[in-house]
A and B are shown apart, each in its own frame.
Chain A
Amino acid sequence: MTADLWVVLGASSSVARAFARAAAEGGADLVLAGRDQADLADTAADLRLRTGRRVECLDFDAAGFDSHDAFVETCWRLAEGHRLNLFFAAGSMPDQEAAMRDFRLARSIVEVNFLSVVSLLNRLEPGLRAQRGGAVVVLGSVAGDRGRRKNFLYGSAKAGLHAYLQGMRGRLLADGVRVVTVKPGFLDTAMTWGLPGLFLVASPQAAARAGLQAAGKGRDEIYYPGFWRLIMLIIKAIPERLFKRLSI
């Protein structure tokens, strides 16, 4: 069996770090991709020491679409002799009101959270089909299940992402490439630290393990923690006439 290589995008985030650790402990080699090279080098050293796996670092700008061709090419080169897999955790959630006033900020939300995956997966798709296997695990969000007044810029980018992944899942099905959408509820990350109104906050380690397991089991879409499926079922069932009046 070919050894797995996971390309982890947005690898400085706590969920991505936890995912990389879980994948390396499971015997995979790694490519850590992100902008903060000094930080990635430290994470790479940590993973090598803890697991003995091969770990490389790559510069990756989620919204620097023109650089993605070269990035994808390097990924394939590093993945030689491996089966390439992808974990996508790059994301940003700036203050919604600030993004309403400043279109550049609004655009970056769509670019980083949605377009970046389109750019990368479109470019990776021929290679993924050719290797006839592998997994693509992408962090979506419960915020993408329904456009809420308080967080719909981020939510709409994630909703676009979810729909894109649904289509891609079908397109890659025949070639044995699995596409997994992970929809986390509240995770205890730097993104949510100090935000008011959070409840039942889950650890990034547990979410990362759930994502990796979902890929192994060939799941299509998971909520983490699982009870969010039920919460979102209820929220999606609220009639729009009523929902539009809710200040959530």
Chain B
Amino acid sequence: MAWKRMALQGWGRVTRAETLASRPERQREVAPLLLAPEAAPGLIAYGGGRSYGDVALNSGGATLLTQRLNRLLDFVPDTGLLVCEAGVTFQDILRTFLPRGYAAPVSPGTAFVTIGGAIANDVHGKNHDRHGSFGDHLAWIELVLPDGRLVRASREEEAELFAATIGGLGLTGLILRAAFHLQKAPSTHFVVHERRLPDLQSFMAAFAEVRRQATYSVGWIDGVARGGQLGRGILQTAEYATGEVPRARPARERRMPVDLPALALNRHSVRLFNEAYFRRVPAAGRERILPVEQFLYPLDAVLDWNRLYGKRGFYQLQCVLPDAAAERGLPALMERVAEAGAASFLAVLKTLGERGRGYLSFPLPGFTLALDLPARPETPALMAQLEAMILDHGGRVYLAKDACLSPEGFRRMYPELPHLQAVLQRVDPAGRMRSDMARRLQIHGAA
């Protein structure tokens, strides 16, 4: 049977969709599935299932699972150009190419993301200042358009379709194949520097200093510290190791055997955990040699860490504030979250460089903050307040993480939306590509 009724969830487990799903195993099956009567109420692709909110969900519609379209098709060592199917994951790339001295140019915080998802959300990593987002490394894509036609898009051919598909939330069609450049990886390990920073102000000052020099940088912030300690945390910077590195034991994959009960994560337990996390790094800082995957994907060590937040799930808020606004905006946001007692575990702070190439690309030069907010009845109201604050500071919310943004806020954050809409008018006049996010944000226009 081609279709199966099933329920899919966003990674944050607060969004859920009953959908009719199909899971093609060959490229030639994709176009007929898109044109099938089952897909008439609208279709979206679902890859690794690591988007937090509703970008890959389609309640009452159809969903195409891309996980079995996961073949590597071509690789040219001289140029680093890799061609692969959309369901290939960053883990596939790491395992196949890191031993040969190549790595994905940009990688999100989990290796379970697919290349199709990386394009549709124009993901970024811990090296955005230096290497931009995923779309910056994309040579071309082959896309099954909503009418079933197969087209190739790049900066030269179908340039508007290309820009609409990068960060296009899967709405321009189904990405079948993609070509992008891997970068040379001189080692399988990173040299990682870690240091403690006592508050947000010193954290941001430290970032201003390292963002131009370090290739990789990321800040882990204690989400519950307040007052003079607000924004304290650990700054990690990393470069590829040179020369021989000690052979480390391969890390074991662990699982969360159960959903944690709601009580387990309270402000006291989180405070204890965060204190320990902070003190893990000596006051004078330290240097470690870590396997690439342990630095890039620390949370992948626990396969389903999202169960940490229990059955009710959690929201993730990731926003970026432009450099000029961040100094005032970031403390205000963090204070608001701390005031609400939303007890976010660890928050992640990074810097971003240039804007992305897609119409809805998230990055802009500034500071990006990501925090988990366990779902409670009052959380959506808090998210609305945070949205207003982000707008006041000229920032925007990352759609790959989002489940709450309002259509009005979305329009102000993403002023290039009309360009995407124009492309959608052209390639999908019948509206065959749909998602819960597209409906919520009224991407195809007000209902």
Chain A residues within CB distance 8 Å of chain B: 12-14, 17, 36, 38-39, 42-43, 45-46, 49-50, 190, 193-195
Residues of A within 8 A of B440 (CB): none
User: Is there a chain A Cβ closer than 8 Å to B4's Cβ?
Assistant: yes
A193 touching B23 by the CB < 8 A rule? Answer: yes
Q: Which A-chain residue is minimally distant from B95 (CB atoms)?
A: A50
B23 touching A50 by the CB < 8 A rule? Answer: no
A50 touching B96 by the CB < 8 A rule? Answer: yes
- Specify which of A14, A38, A39, A193 is in contact with B4 (CB 8 Å cutoff): A193
Residues of A within 8 A of B72 (CB): 45-46, 49-50
Given contacts A12-B26, A39-B28, A42-B27, contact A49 B75 (CB under 8 A): yes
Residues of B within 8 A of A45 (CB): 71-74
User: Is there a chain A Cβ closer than 8 Å to B3's Cβ?
Assistant: yes
Chain B residues within CB distance 8 Å of chain A: 1-5, 22-23, 25-28, 68, 71-75, 85, 92, 96
Q: Which B-chain residue is minimally distant from A14 (CB atoms)?
A: B25
Closest 10 CB pairs of A and B: A194-B1, A194-B4, A46-B71, A49-B72, A39-B26, A46-B72, A45-B73, A42-B71, A50-B96, A190-B25
- Specify which of A13, A17, A46, A193 is in contact with B73 (CB 8 Å cutoff): A46
CA distance A159 to B307 in the complex (A): 45
Q: From DSSP, what is the main secondary structure of chain A's interface residues?
A: helix
A-B contact pairs, 11 of them (CB 8 A): A12-B26, A14-B25, A38-B28, A39-B28, A43-B71, A45-B72, A49-B72, A49-B74, A50-B92, A190-B25, A194-B2
Q: From DSSP, what is the main secondary structure of chain B's interface residues?
A: mixed
Q: Which B-chain residue is minimally distant from A188 (CB atoms)?
A: B23
Which of A39, A50, A193 has the most chain B CB atoms inside 10 A of its CB? A193
CA distance A38 to B342 in the complex (A): 53
CA distance A23 to B8 in the complex (A): 33
Residues of A within 8 A of B4 (CB): 193-194
CA distance A38 to B150 in the complex (A): 15
Residues of B within 8 A of A38 (CB): 27-28
CA distance A191 to B177 in the complex (A): 25
Residues of B within 8 A of A193 (CB): 1-2, 4, 22-23
A190 touching B23 by the CB < 8 A rule? Answer: yes
Q: Which B-chain residue is minimally distant from A190 (CB atoms)?
A: B25
CA distance A194 to B22 in the complex (A): 9
Residues of B within 8 A of A42 (CB): 27, 71, 73, 85
Residues of A within 8 A of B92 (CB): 50
Residues of A within 8 A of B26 (CB): 12, 36, 39
**Distance of B378 from chain A, by nearest CB (Å):** 40
**Distance of B286 from chain A, by nearest CB (Å):** 36
Residues of A within 8 A of B1 (CB): 193-195
B28 touching A14 by the CB < 8 A rule? Answer: no
Q: Which B-chain residue is minimally distant from A40 (CB atoms)?
A: B26
CA distance A201 to B290 in the complex (A): 37
B68 touching A14 by the CB < 8 A rule? Answer: yes
CA distance A46 to B26 in the complex (A): 13
Residues of B within 8 A of A195 (CB): 1
CA distance A3 to B132 in the complex (A): 45
CA distance A43 to B85 in the complex (A): 11
